Amino acid sequence: MILREFLDKDYKIHGREHLDEYLVKLCKLVIQRQHRDPEQFGIVGACVLDPDHNIGVGTTTKENGKWKHAEHNAMDDYNKRYGEIPEGSIIITTLSPCNDTMADRSGPSCTDIINASPVRKVYCGYMDPSQHDPHAEFTLEDTQNDDINRLCKKMAWTFLGTKNHPLENASEVFENYQTTTAKFIAAGIPQDEINKTINQYQNLVNRNQVQGNERNIDWWAKQGWDKFNKFVQASASVPSTTQIKRRKVPGNSITLLDNNDWQIVVPLDRNASAYFGKNAQWCTTNTCLNTGGFEDHFGGQVLIYAISKSQDEEQWNSTNWAIVDDIHYYPKIYFELWNSDNFDGDPPSAFKKDVGLTAIQVIKMARQKHNKQIIDKARKAHQSIYDRISNYFSEEPVKRDPQVEQDLIVTRHPDEASRYIKHVVDTLGPQDFPDQLVKLAQLNRKFSARHVGPDQMSKYAKNAIEK
Ligand SMILES: [Zn+2]
């Protein structure tokens, strides 16, 4: 049994890197919901994390014309899922909890709500400079990660400085953006269009794709909307060097749809899965290489990725979807829907709203005869790879098997690769490692924490010989 009182006494914030990961996820969620419905969702995200890593999540939402704040929603979400929030829990939020009275807020201040709860630690992405009544009974700290801080600040400043969130010292830059926007509005440009272009422009500035005067929004106000817009559109279509570098061979896949906004693909191998899923948190992509990810799914499921083309290279600005079509139910359709944050609770209507097609329509595209044939063939090949590997391990293996090495290079399953290498090096001298085995060992070191790399491989072999 855990002695909670020991935990309770500890109001210190630990594991900042871990907490920063949550902040990034929250930013993504906020932006995603902004894309979905900017009227209904506000620009703050928060979560409650308990000592068992149970999590309740919320963003600011509109309720009866007022804003219900993210912390409030996160706590309600936690209560709904797990009941009472236990002591030792922490709240992570993109913006520090409010403490002033606010006309447009639904319910008490977040500081009051948290004070009344067992939560005694709050970690935030940005300290709200518009709040002047500090009465928190909890430890409040902000991130030391500049990128995350900048992002959270940027989100907060979309509403700071307005009537309900007055700022005493609004920075010059912020005002310049406001004035420029006002100027463009006065020139008859629709607000939506201005916001979109300014957003793109800020991305360009953040990526250092803009130099000199062109970095200055004030200067653009003088140049006028047409020049500004033209410049942004032209620059936005030029890929940055990182973007060019990222255009690697995307492996083997089928493209179901490719228009201005979306590319919908069925990855047929791990490389394609990693390539198309690079901006999502799915286990089927490189982001968690120490699981079998893609291979574990592909055996019984068809993965379909809808990749948004409006995402930029700061990965938070993407709304991608993965449909997992479970073929065990074929010809019936049973599917799961995962968003970029690897969250599977969004309704199918959210997918339709983003992509413009229903998930069922997309699955039917993948099931069209010619596509199905290609997918089935890839799955069969994949299945035989798995069969060969499991046959190899079904008896105590004593010899190298170049085919199995090749298979392990394809599947990159870390446990099996390590196991294979350990077995095989016992039968070889340290000089005798064939290239393919070295390649497997190199990959193994790359994709697993439990790795056997080439150096360790030599050590094993040496020991084996000395025995
Ligand atoms: Zn609040």
Tell me if 382 is assigned to some domain: no
Do 402 and 365 share a domain, yes or no? no
Residue with tokens 């006494």: 9
Does residue 12 contact residue 6 with C-beta atoms inside 8 Å? no
Q: How far is the CA of 69 from the centre of ligand 1 (A)?
A: 5
Q: How far is the CA of 15 from the centre of ligand 1 (A)?
A: 24
251-254, Cβ contacts within 8 angstroms, sequence gap of 24 or more:
251/275, 252/378, 254/366, 254/371, 254/374, 254/375
Do 197 and 88 share a domain, yes or no? no
Q: How far is the CA of 115 from the centre of ligand 1 (A)?
A: 12
Q: How far is the CA of 124 from the centre of ligand 1 (A)?
A: 12
Q: How far is the CA of 48 from the centre of ligand 1 (A)?
A: 14
- Per-residue burial over 450-466, b if 16 or more Cβ lie within 10 Å, else e, is ebbbbebbbebbeeeee
Q: How far is the CA of 107 from the centre of ligand 1 (A)?
A: 9
Domain boundary residue, one of 308, 338, 371: 371
Q: What DSSP assignment string belongs to 145-187?
A: -HHHHHHHHHHHTTTTTSTTS--TT--HHHHHHHHHHHHHHHT
Q: How far is the CA of 133 from the centre of ligand 1 (A)?
A: 12
Do 24 and 41 share a domain, yes or no? yes
Structure confidence at residue 288 (pLDDT): 46
Domain count along the chain: 4
Tell me if 402 is assigned to some domain: yes
Q: How far is the CA of 70 from the centre of ligand 1 (A)?
A: 7
Structure confidence at residue 449 (pLDDT): 60
Do 15 and 111 share a domain, yes or no? yes
Does residue 138 contact residue 112 with C-beta atoms inside 8 Å? no
Does residue 115 contact residue 76 with C-beta atoms inside 8 Å? no
How much of the chain is in helix, strand and coil states, percent to nearest 5?
A: 50, 15, 35
Q: How far is the CA of 78 from the centre of ligand 1 (A)?
A: 17
Q: How far is the CA of 456 from the centre of ligand 1 (A)?
A: 53
Q: Find the CATH number of the domain harbouring 39.
A: 3.40.140.10
Q: How far is the CA of 35 from the centre of ligand 1 (A)?
A: 22
Q: How far is the CA of 98 from the centre of ligand 1 (A)?
A: 4
Q: How far is the CA of 443 from the centre of ligand 1 (A)?
A: 47
Domain boundary residue, one of 141, 168, 195: 168
The alpha carbon of residue 284 and the mean position of all alpha carbons in its chain are separated, in whole angstroms, by 13
Q: How far is the CA of 67 from the centre of ligand 1 (A)?
A: 9
Do 183 and 277 share a domain, yes or no? no
Do 80 and 186 share a domain, yes or no? no
Q: How far is the CA of 120 from the centre of ligand 1 (A)?
A: 16
The pTM is what? Answer: 0.44
Do 35 and 87 share a domain, yes or no? yes
Q: What DSSP assignment string belongs to 51-77?
A: TT--EEEEEEEEETTEEEPHHHHHHHH
Which helix H or strand E contains 79, and what residues bound it? helix 70-82
Do 209 and 258 share a domain, yes or no? no
Do 90 and 199 share a domain, yes or no? no
Domain that holds residue 340: 244-371
Q: How far is the CA of 126 from the centre of ligand 1 (A)?
A: 13
Q: How far is the CA of 365 from the centre of ligand 1 (A)?
A: 45
Q: How far is the CA of 316 from the centre of ligand 1 (A)?
A: 23
Q: How far is the CA of 305 from the centre of ligand 1 (A)?
A: 36
Q: How far is the CA of 192 from the centre of ligand 1 (A)?
A: 27
Q: How far is the CA of 137 from the centre of ligand 1 (A)?
A: 15
* pLDDT tens-place values along the chain, 467 residues long: 334 333 444 567 778 888 999 999 999 999 989 888 888 999 999 999 998 889 999 999 999 899 999 999 999 999 999 999 998 899 999 999 998 888 889 999 999 999 999 999 999 999 887 777 778 888 888 888 888 998 998 899 888 777 667 664 445 666 778 888 899 999 999 988 888 888 788 777 655 567 667 877 888 998 999 999 998 888 776 655 444 444 444 678 888 887 778 889 999 988 788 888 877 777 777 544 445 578 778 878 899 999 887 755 444 445 789 999 998 888 889 999 998 887 888 889 989 988 888 999 999 989 988 888 889 989 888 888 888 888 888 877 667 888 988 888 877 777 788 888 888 877 776 667 788 888 888 877 766 666 677 777 777 777 766 65
Tell me if 378 is assigned to some domain: no
Q: How far is the CA of 71 from the centre of ligand 1 (A)?
A: 7
Q: How far is the CA of 128 from the centre of ligand 1 (A)?
A: 10
Do 157 and 178 share a domain, yes or no? no
Q: How far is the CA of 91 from the centre of ligand 1 (A)?
A: 12
Please enumerate in sequence order all residues whose Cβ is within 8 A of that of 346, keeping only pairs 6 or more positions apart, or say none: 337, 339
Q: How far is the CA of 103 from the centre of ligand 1 (A)?
A: 12
Angle made by CA atoms 16, 278, 354, in degrees to the nearest 5: 100
Tell me if 159 is assigned to some domain: yes
Tell me if 388 is assigned to some domain: no
Q: How far is the CA of 22 from the centre of ligand 1 (A)?
A: 18
Does residue 251 contact residue 267 with C-beta atoms inside 8 Å? yes
Do 233 and 254 share a domain, yes or no? no
Q: How far is the CA of 129 from the centre of ligand 1 (A)?
A: 13
In 314-393 the beta strands, taken as DSSP E runs, fall at 321-326, 335-339
Phi-psi region at 111: left, alpha or beta (left = phi > 0; alpha = psi -120 to 50): alpha
Tell me if 189 is assigned to some domain: yes
Do 449 and 355 share a domain, yes or no? no
Tell me if 69 is assigned to some domain: yes
Domain boundary residue, one of 371, 405, 433: 371
Tell me how far apart the alpha carbons of residues 440 and 418 are, in angstroms, rounded to a whole number. Answer: 9
Q: What residues sit around ligand 1, an ion, with C-beta below 5 angstroms?
A: 69, 98, 110
Q: How far is the CA of 325 from the centre of ligand 1 (A)?
A: 40
Does residue 120 contact residue 8 with C-beta atoms inside 8 Å? yes
Structure confidence at residue 290 (pLDDT): 46
Q: What DSSP assignment string belongs to 199-245?
A: HHHHHHHHTT---GGGG-HHHHHHH-HHHHHHHHHHHHTSPPHHHHH
Q: What DSSP assignment string belongs to 394-411?
A: HS---S--HHHHHHHHHH
Does residue 122 contact residue 49 with C-beta atoms inside 8 Å? no
Tell me if 314 is assigned to some domain: yes
